[in-house]
Amino acid sequence: MQFWNKTIETMPRKEIEQLQLRLLKELVTRIYEKSHYYHTLMKEVGVHPSDIISLEDIVKLPTMNKTDLRDNYPDRLIIADPEDIIRYHVSSGTTGKPTVVGYTKNDIENWSESLARSFTSFGLGKRDVIQVSNGYGLFSGGLGMHYGAEKLGAAVVPASTGGTKRQIELIKDLKVTSIACTPSYLLHMAEVAESMGVDFRNDTRLGSAILGAEPWSENTRRHIEDWMGIKAQNCYGASELSGPLFTECNEQDGVHVWGDLCLVEVIDPKTGEHVGEGERGELVFTMLRREALPIIRYRIGDISEITWERCACGRTHPRLQRVAGRVDDMIIIRGINVFPSQVEHVLGEIEEVTQHYMILVDSDGALDKMTVQVELDPEAFTDNILTLRAIRSKVAGALKDTLNVRVDVELMEPGSLPRFEEKAKRVLDRRVRM
């Protein structure tokens, strides 16, 4: 097993936490002294840097979210001196003002270090040729991957997005061994390659893909791996946290979150209190070494869980499970949290139905009633009503097993449910609020 920085990557948990506490204290002191915004905020909630004595004291600090970044557009949250800023990335503002993230030299360095460790953890190194097919530009995906791959010492093919046929030629001709892109783009690429008569297994040296920037499932991973004969690695990040930051190692058993760079908490989205280790909740990130734009207790909106259990690869840092959903997407049915992504996962396992579905939530007296409408796979259609009923029961049973909520299932005609081109709105909550 190769390591990029073995001392740090295999450091005992206790030492990681001691390091986190030292860095947290420094960070809090820095923002208290340098940021008008944080100074005022900390005064308001009555917390002083000297109140941070243990890691648990982090809960004394206020949380922040995307709105705080937007409201302080463009650079009111940036605390570094202007001459120390060496780059800006700007997120597209689909739902309001854009958000601006500034970086110092050290910020870029730590970001690249994080990715170099991650790339090494699934076998990449300086002999590799990495094609970066994430967008370059204001979006942090392309350049982030690029700097990480360069730091690793690999050869980078900065392909960016688009020109799929050319991308496939490059993979062949430059003997590309790994590609960074979104899962949906990779699937598109695989289809185009097939139409060009290019077989990824025999005609290229592609061995892995670094996939992220959109939600994807284990089913999709298996599909990609079987189809293309490569390892598909999950990558986690967000523009506010820098960009793509962490990936899974060879074990594919959770994303390694480097504790010396980032402190992740998991909270109950309703109460804001910490949940137990291994329990699912909303992720809250603190970037411990950020210089330009402090990210402190940032509520990113993703729902997942972390474990500190030592990974089979020997790394000791906390591991993040696949994101189960977004806080905004969560529905509460009879007191149980349900995510559309869970429904999607269950449906993906049943071949008689398609991935086109809708979730309807209604009031049934004082209770909630959840209905999943799913389109029947035309191949599974039969004249026999009993067989169709059995398919419906199979779907309902599988949903109940996963969600712990009783679900009514309606089989639908293919093509009869809405199609979504951009952000899918698959939940129709029709409950009567008292």
Partner 1 sequence: MPKRHVIKQLSIFVNNEPGRLAKIARIMKEEGIDIYAFNIAEASGFGVFRAIVRDPDIAFQKLKDRDLVVKETEVIAIPMEDRPGGLFEAAAVLGEVGINIEYGYAYSGKEGAIFFIRVNDTESAINTLLNHGIRLLKEGDL
Q: Which of 162, 414 has the CB closer to partner 1?
A: 414
| Interaction residues for partner 1, span 217-276 (CB under 8 A) | none
407 binds partner 1 (CB under 8 A): no
Q: Which of 412, 424 has the CB closer to partner 1?
A: 412
Would you call 434 exposed, middle or buried from its count of C-beta atoms within 10 A (0-12, 13-18, 19+)? Answer: exposed
Contact pick of 46, 195, 276, 385 for partner 1 (by CB under 8 A): 385
**Residues near 231 by beta carbon (within 8 Å), at least 6 away in sequence:** 122, 207, 208, 209, 225, 250, 252
**Residues near 19 by beta carbon (within 8 Å), at least 6 away in sequence:** 11, 259, 260
**Residues near 71 by beta carbon (within 8 Å), at least 6 away in sequence:** none
Contact pick of 71, 173, 413, 429 for partner 1 (by CB under 8 A): 413
Contact pick of 8, 262, 287, 411 for partner 1 (by CB under 8 A): 411
Q: Which of 1, 380 has the CB closer to partner 1?
A: 380
Q: How far is the CB of 384 from partner 1 (least distance, A)?
A: 7
Q: Report residue 82: phi and psi, to 5°.
A: -50, -35
Count of other CB atoms within 10 angstroms of residue 159? 23
324 binds partner 1 (CB under 8 A): no
Secondary-structure percent of the chain, ordered helix, strand, coil, rounded to 5: 35, 25, 40
Residue listed under structure tokens 């869980």? 305
Give how many residues touch partner 1 by CB under 8 A.
Answer: 19
x-or-dash string of contact with partner 1, 415-434, rule CB under 8 A: xx------------------
Distance CA 185, CA 82 (A): 37
Please calculate the CA angle 254-260-264 and round it to the nearest 5 degrees: 55
412 binds partner 1 (CB under 8 A): yes
- Where b means 16+ CB within 10 Å and e means fewer, 273-310 reads ebbeeeebbbbbbbbbbbbbbbbbbbbbbbbbbbeeee
Contact pick of 383, 401, 421, 422 for partner 1 (by CB under 8 A): 383
Q: How far is the CB of 408 from partner 1 (least distance, A)?
A: 8
399 binds partner 1 (CB under 8 A): no
Helix axes 13-34, 36-45, angle to 10 degrees: 110
Q: Which of 251, 410 has the CB closer to partner 1?
A: 410
**Binding segment toward partner 1, per CB under 8 A, in 30-38, 116-124, 311-319, 381-389:** 381-389
Q: Which of 157, 411 has the CB closer to partner 1?
A: 411
Distance CA 303, CA 325 (A): 5
88 binds partner 1 (CB under 8 A): no
Q: Which of 235, 411 has the CB closer to partner 1?
A: 411
Would you call 131 exposed, middle or buried from its count of C-beta atoms within 10 A (0-12, 13-18, 19+)? Answer: buried
| Interaction residues for partner 1, span 357-376 (CB under 8 A) | 376
Query: Residue 169 corresponds to which tokens in the numbers above?
Result: 């030629």
Q: Which of 308, 381 has the CB closer to partner 1?
A: 381
382 binds partner 1 (CB under 8 A): yes
**Binding segment toward partner 1, per CB under 8 A, in 45-53, 163-171, 333-341, 386-394:** 386-394
Q: Which of 44, 383 has the CB closer to partner 1?
A: 383
Q: How far is the CB of 334 from partner 1 (least distance, A)?
A: 21
389 binds partner 1 (CB under 8 A): yes
Cβ–Cβ < 8 Å for 104, 80: yes
**Binding segment toward partner 1, per CB under 8 A, in 12-20, 276-284, 328-336, 412-420:** 412-420
Q: Is 141 helix (H, G, I), strand (E, B) or coil?
A: helix
Q: Which residues bind partner 1 (CB under 8 A)?
A: 376, 378, 381-385, 388-389, 392, 408-416
